[in-house]
Structure 1
């Protein structure tokens, strides 16, 4: 299996590097646009010079974000199993992410897996991929948009369902006033989570928008809000690093609020075990990356469509609490949870 170095390297630049090394390009034959004729075209699928299928995974993840490292680890594992030439690229800017998809289309890869954090920014390039007979699947973000945007399959968590589950859990924990922290304004997945919390939580839910790329500023913003409103008794974060920053903010503000979160990493699991964080919602990012790549391989080689091409394949929500954190920690330490 071959992958590019982490983040922001486009599929096109990776291909140019391969060409410079002397690889011979092959002509890609058209892939099927529907499950009914995908199997017939599978043998004609374009291959890399060494005979392997070429797939591009393109996300909106920020460089160095542990969550996306888990997505990529899962994708790498599937690529190794399926003997796929996998290229990874990412950019949190929606327009730049769309350009990366466009690069992959120009490079005539055999399949594209993409996140739809901001679906409207991706719609046109997904259409370009379809016109080029390149199958596209979605993962992680965009569960309400993947079908209308023309994607074949979707792997991820229904964020609205997850948010409602968190609201119910907070009710069971007797919380009264929740602050839901969104670290990327306009991200449909994060907005859906907090909206879901607000829908089922019997208490008051406030939203705080912060800059997830600046952890010190995020910590300061949460600290300030907690000082301004001491009635907040629960901070709900939308990522492991943001939850850990919120723990620091609670202490700095002298607040008695608890912290809970969506998503986790090894440090977050430790925080759950110690009681610094009450619980985490695991959407299983490793599984998302794995299934997206493996799903494209199955489609190109056997005409399979996960979920029948009409329903998403859900990877969460799964709650991680103090009671089961020790079991999860075994996998988190290996970088797969």
Structure 2
């Protein structure tokens, strides 16, 4: 007896096998696309300089007093760079050197990827900076410590050469015909302020007198300047180390009945108006916004692309730039935006 022939496949079976093949093919395509998607996703986590790991954490630690307009400019610059570079930025400050050092140690404990710090009192910062380096955290300097940043072990530095700036002011005062200058230092032991006034004294052919005041108490500062101007009526120039102190010195001169003119290091929005109306002769702008910006941007570039500004052997200078009545209009629009 012959075996029966197998029944021809049904159209339903053909459709089932075709569907199965399409399912396998679709699954393979999905896997391939998933792999491509995974590559693109990991690539999107890379930063613009080609590094990997996404956002980095940076802490900026300054010696600025809370609410000081100058340090707000530094902070704004740092925040602008952080926004551009997608950096998680923390800003902290303490006018006390011991407190500032502890803020650096806090940043180390937080495991940040980079630290930017001011060296107003370098000796106090040596230990925390060394601790950061030991933890593998790069540290850059800004604003204060141009003569100490390399010995302190910092990677880069952004700021003004205060001695050069002071000498430039001394020469300018000679050109203006001043004879007796009172250089007001609002923080004793701050190497940047000391270097400025020492620079003035070095090039100014007249008499340069240093006056130390309490910069944390504006009323006391103003009273001290007023008293000194009354005691020395031949003082014909007052040089301050901050925009707010210059404005206070203008009032102090008025109270003392002094004819002394006022000039200053550093600039802010209110001082722009004072230069414009002539109540302050000139200001030396070290561009604090730029200092904060460059410090944060430099850490991002170092972490993502290995760049070191100045090659690690030379500071990047942000000043001095003189702002006088003749060029103040060029600065005014930026000052109005709170960036100068």
TM-score normalized by the length of structure 2: 0.85
Return 5+ residue gaps in structure 1 as ranges.
1-41
Q: Whole-Å Cα distance in 1 between the matches of residues 128 and 270 of structure 2?
A: 37
State the match for 2:91 in structure 1: 88
Q: Whole-Å Cα distance in 1 between the matches of residues 222 and 278 of structure 2?
A: 19
User: Post-superposition shift, 1:262?
Assistant: 0.1
Return 5+ residue gaps in structure 2 as ranges.
1-49
CA contact (8 A) 2:56 2:113 kept: yes
State the match for 2:165 in structure 1: 162
Structure with a larger share of its residues in helix? 2
State the match for 1:250 in structure 2: 253
User: Post-superposition shift, 1:165?
Assistant: 0.1
State the match for 2:29 in structure 1: none
Q: Whole-Å Cα distance in 2 between the matches of residues 300 and 113 of structure 1?
A: 13
User: Post-superposition shift, 1:43?
Assistant: 4.5
Work out which of the residue numbers 141, 146, 149 in structure 1 matches 2:144: 141
SS at structure 2 position matched to 1:323: coil
Q: Whole-Å Cα distance in 2 between the matches of residues 86 and 43 of structure 1?
A: 18
User: Post-superposition shift, 1:83?
Assistant: 0.2
State the match for 2:287 in structure 1: 284
State the match for 2:130 in structure 1: 127
State the match for 2:25 in structure 1: none
State the match for 2:46 in structure 1: none
Q: Whole-Å Cα distance in 1 between the matches of residues 55 and 152 of structure 2?
A: 28
SS at structure 1 position matched to 2:155: coil
State the match for 2:315 in structure 1: 312
Say yes or no: does 1:64 pair with 2:83: no
Work out which of the residue numbers 94, 99, 105 in structure 1 matches 2:102: 99
User: Post-superposition shift, 1:237?
Assistant: 0.3
Q: Whole-Å Cα distance in 2 between the matches of residues 333 and 265 of structure 1?
A: 9
Q: Whole-Å Cα distance in 2 between the matches of residues 330 and 214 of structure 1?
A: 30
Q: Whole-Å Cα distance in 2 between the matches of residues 335 and 140 of structure 1?
A: 18
Equivalent residues in 2 for 1:115-264, closer than 5 Å: 115-264=118-267
CA contact (8 A) 2:51 2:305 kept: no
Q: Whole-Å Cα distance in 2 between the matches of residues 326 and 319 of structure 1?
A: 13
User: Post-superposition shift, 1:325?
Assistant: 0.6
Equivalent residues in 2 for 1:264-279, closer than 5 Å: 264-279=267-282
Q: Whole-Å Cα distance in 2 between the matches of residues 218 and 335 of structure 1?
A: 26
TM-score normalized by the length of structure 1: 0.86
SS at structure 2 position matched to 1:315: strand
SS at structure 2 position matched to 1:242: helix
1:174-196 superposed Cα distances (whole Å, 9 cap, x missing partner):
00000000000000000000000
State the match for 1:25 in structure 2: none
SS at structure 1 position matched to 2:319: coil
Work out which of the residue numbers 312, 320, 324 in structure 2 matches 1:321: 324
State the match for 2:55 in structure 1: 52
Aligned residues: 291
The structure number with the bigger radius of gyration is 2
User: Post-superposition shift, 1:52?
Assistant: 1.4
User: Post-superposition shift, 1:272?
Assistant: 0.4
Work out which of the residue numbers 61, 64, 76 in structure 2 matches 1:73: 76
